[in-house]
Amino acid sequence: MTDTLPACYNVSIVNPNQFWKTDKVSKTELPILAIQIAFVAVLSCLFSTIYKPLHQTRLISQISVGFLLTPPLLGRFTPIFEFIFPVNGIVNVEVLSHIGLIYYAFLSGLEMNLNTILHMKKKPATITIVGIIFPILVAPCLYALFRKVYGHIMMFPLEESTNNTYILWTLILTVTSFPVVAHTLSELKLLYTGLGKAALTAAMIGDTYGWILFTLFVPFSTNGKGAIYTVPCTLIFILVCIFVVRPIIQWFIDRKEDKDEWNDNQLLFIIMGVLACSCISDFLGAHAIVGAFVFGLILPHGRFAELVMSISDDFVGGFLVPLFFTGTGMRLILAAIFSQQSWPFVLVIILLLCALKILSTLIVTFFFGMRIRDGLTLGLILNNKGAMALIMLNIAWDRTIFSVPTYAVITSAVLLMTVVVSPIINVVYKPRQRFEQNKLKTIQKLRVDAELRIISCVHNTRQAASMISIVECFNAMRVSPIHVFALYLVELTGRAAALVAAHIGKPSSQPGEQNLTRSQEELESIHNAFDALGEAYDAIRVETLNVVSAYTTIHEDIYHSADEKRTSLILLPFHKQLTLEGTLEVTSVVYKDINQNVMQGAPCSVGIFVDRDFGLVPKRNLHVRVVFVGGPDDREALAIAWRMAGCSGTQLSVVRILLLGEAAEADASVHDEKQGILSAVIDTEKQKELDDEYISTFRLTGVHNNDSISYSEIDVHSGEDIPAILNEIEKFGCDLYIVGQGNCRNSKVFSNLLEWCECLELGVIGDILVSNNFGSRSSVLVVQQYGYGGMNFRDNLNQKDTNNDMVESVV
């Protein structure tokens, strides 16, 4: 490395016998530290916002802050740089950043799923091992080539000793960051695809191997011959932590949780444990983060780990860690690459460094029979670098193992590997491609002897019971079985990797089960409930899955699950639930947004189930009523009801509303707008012909051959008649209404009534039936048929807010 100039400054020792030896710390040291933390935190948030469309991680934003302070940018203005990072403030920010790094390593160990690592499958394990061995063999050759190409430059000379450089250069290229991979897959909506699951498992195994290699080999590059003693002592320390300390901590925490004696103040013991393990590993000659990671790994996972991460993650990840990773960007001097004539060859070497893991993944996936596109995507995902690579870069810089050019080349390669992953995958893999039209994605067009595949989305155990009660009515038979995919929706908050790791495997009934997180407990309860459904009916198969994603984009995960499972129906829970007073009360407004997002672009038919204690209704004496107005949604609703009518003891009443006179007028204004209240305009006469044809088939085949099915028609001449007719129908009573959402009704009456609806996703009829003012005690299933476009809710939001107060007059 180039000769460095020491930066000296005077420190006045005023109180030599006290803890704070300098004077006026709050006036001299603290303001500088506060400015540095605020500068880094604010700019990191700003860069995160800028990079969000590119799906970049927080590490890239934090490194960008440091690169902003390099000489080509703000660093060229000396007064600005010295104001933010003065010489007398470097020591404090270095100490604080390393404390943050220690706790970051602790949280990384806390989020690891040991069950997945210990019970690894052959395919991801092979991909991971080959992805480590291939860079170990090729990376030293690229380093030797780099030294030969770069030459000797007086301004930026290369390091003289190369043995230690070989070790860190190679290790940096072998590691994979599990948190970054989990974030990338979640952002690209590949997390719950077959490729995503393989990448996630391989990344977790690779991250674990990365820590092992870091513990075994980094001491040889930092301690020299002393590593002969460092490595065995560190391994003994790890074994003691796992087999001696872990059972004691497990017993102590379980006892506190069983007696409900645990409180936030006792987290001080955890902080002390992190620092103690870090000090021990540092004393043994290993890096301090090794002890912190091992301590996080031995702590009991579940509710306790969730508590620790929820309390410390925001502070550690938002304020302390950015200080450390900002330093990585500050040390990146690109002039060292472009200051010599052979810089194009150096760029080629950087690209070759980026290609090592991709090539190894392509080779091994080829032998597993995977497509080249899938292998390339998997290689790109596993090429993500994270904290571990940056930590080794900083060790190499601090110990003067890397020279300025070497540091610039390997850092540029690491950043390039991580930055380009999401954009390239968006182009190559196209995870958001449009779904192919398929008539089997509707129940109306499904063959009588075909398997009915249903995705049932739930947020909690109560909704799971509701969904089970409605699925039981779908008349599962050996000729026409039902395959139910129970999808437990979990909101992604905090560290993506922690939640994803917790939900990679299903919770098992083993010792320590009481330490499951809330979401894991919910998943286990939902899993048991749906398993009981599968055991009760021979013709029903059940799979319980979970989706961990941000609520704003979770509908895309539902799309991909429905497309991958080839389902014909997505069942969604209504965002209101029944209270003891018999009224519907909002559970979460976010659930409503999810339902609307799903309905706008679902790859199959969608049903929203409004549960009014439907599980208490005896299924052998069930009364179902269909209010049929017309359109594809109503035909799909009738198809579902017709299937339910096959169950013994089920009575089906179909009431068709015939629009006549003023009520039959088409909404001409819809034709003048590309997007309006109704997002899909279909020829009225054509739809009426399809309605008549389907009704005729239903009456001929269903009504005439089954005494439990009845059919009637009611004439409607104006919009005011519809609520009155529904009130008359309600007097006869029923257990379940099945109605179409009515998105494609080209009717002026329904377009006008839709403006007054409180819940647009239910349509006019559904909104009236669900309204508390209507007074019905019947459950409601609102259906939207696939193939005619989803409803556009955005254009109605402003109108809906102004009209909510007048809904009562309509009902």
pLDDT at 673: 45
Task: Among 148-162, 176-190, 593-607, name the one with the lowest average pLDDT.
Answer: 148-162
pLDDT at 678: 40
pTM of the entire predicted model: 0.78
Cβ atoms of 382 and 127 within 8 Å: the answer is yes
pLDDT at 77 over 60: yes
Q: Give the Cα separation of 726 and 737 in Å (integer).
A: 11
> Which domains are present in the chain?
28-428 (1.20.1530.20), 443-504+519-664+677-802 (3.40.50.12370)
pLDDT at 279 over 90: yes
Q: Give the Cα separation of 465 and 613 in Å (integer).
A: 10
Percent of the chain with pLDDT over 70: 84
pLDDT, average across residues 637-653:
91
pLDDT at 86: 80
pLDDT, average across residues 28-44:
85
pLDDT at 578 over 70: yes
Closest CA to 573 of 669, 732, 465, 684: 465
pLDDT at 636 over 90: yes
pLDDT band for position 431 (50/70/90)? very low
pLDDT at 339 over 60: yes
What pLDDT digit, counting tens, does each position of 167-224 carry? 899 999 999 888 888 888 888 888 777 788 888 888 888 888 888 888 888 888 888 7
pLDDT, average across residues 364-391:
88
What pLDDT digit, counting tens, does each position of 648-687 carry? 889 999 999 988 877 677 665 544 444 443 444 456 778 8
pLDDT, average across residues 386-414:
89
Cβ atoms of 757 and 645 within 8 Å: the answer is no
pLDDT, average across residues 693-708:
86
Q: Give the Cα separation of 280 and 272 in Å (integer).
A: 12
Name the β-bridge partners of 651: 623
pLDDT at 118: 66
Say if residue 254 is exposed, middle or buried (CB neighbours under 10 Å; 0-12, 13-18, 19+): middle
* 3-state DSSP of 338-395: HCCCCHHHHHHHHHHHHHHHHHHHHHHHHHCCCCHHHHHHHHHHHCCCCHHHHHHHHH
What pLDDT digit, counting tens, does each position of 771-807 carry? 988 888 999 999 999 876 555 555 554 444 444 443 3
pLDDT at 483: 95
pLDDT at 617: 86
Cβ atoms of 444 and 502 within 8 Å: the answer is no
What is the β-pairing status of strands 736-740 and 623-628? parallel
Task: Among 164-173, 483-492, 746-755, name the one with the lowest average pLDDT.
Answer: 746-755
DSSP-based helix, strand, coil % in the chain, nearest 5 = 60, 10, 30
Q: How many CA atoms lie within 13 A of 138 on its CB side?
A: 18
Q: Between the CA atoms of 134, 136, 137 and 139, what dihedral angle is there, to the nearest 10 degrees? A: 100
Q: When comparing pLDDT for 738 and 773, which is higher?
A: 738
pLDDT at 113 over 70: no
Q: Give the Cα separation of 597 and 721 in Å (integer).
A: 31
Query: Which tokens go with 242?
Result: 């796992």
Closest CA to 559 of 455, 460, 458: 455
What pLDDT digit, counting tens, does each position of 290-301 carry? 999 999 888 877
pLDDT at 112 over 90: no
pLDDT at 793: 56
For residue 787, give the DSSP letter: T
pLDDT, average across residues 692-720:
86
pLDDT at 553: 87
pLDDT band for position 264 (50/70/90)? low
Q: Give the Cα separation of 100 and 314 in Å (integer).
A: 11
pLDDT at 808: 38
pLDDT at 668: 56
pLDDT, average across residues 378-385:
89
For residue 140, give the DSSP letter: H
pLDDT at 511 over 50: no
Task: Among 176-190, 351-365, 433-447, 729-743, name the one with the lowest average pLDDT.
Answer: 433-447
User: Angle at CA 477, nearest 5°, toward 707 and 450?
Assistant: 105
Chain centroid offset of residue 606 CA: 22
Q: When comparing pLDDT for 639 and 15, which is higher?
A: 639
pLDDT at 16: 63
pLDDT at 432 over 50: no
pLDDT at 669: 54
pLDDT band for position 6 (50/70/90)? low
Task: Among 229-233, 464-468, 652-656, 706-710, name the one with the lowest average pLDDT.
Answer: 706-710
pLDDT at 804: 42
pLDDT at 10: 65
pLDDT at 24: 66
Q: Give the Cα separation of 340 and 334 in Å (integer).
A: 11
Q: What is the largest distance, in Å, between two alpha-carbon atoms of the chain?
A: 102
Q: Give the Cα separation of 594 and 154 in Å (integer).
A: 61
**If you average pLDDT over every residue of the chain, what do you get?**
82
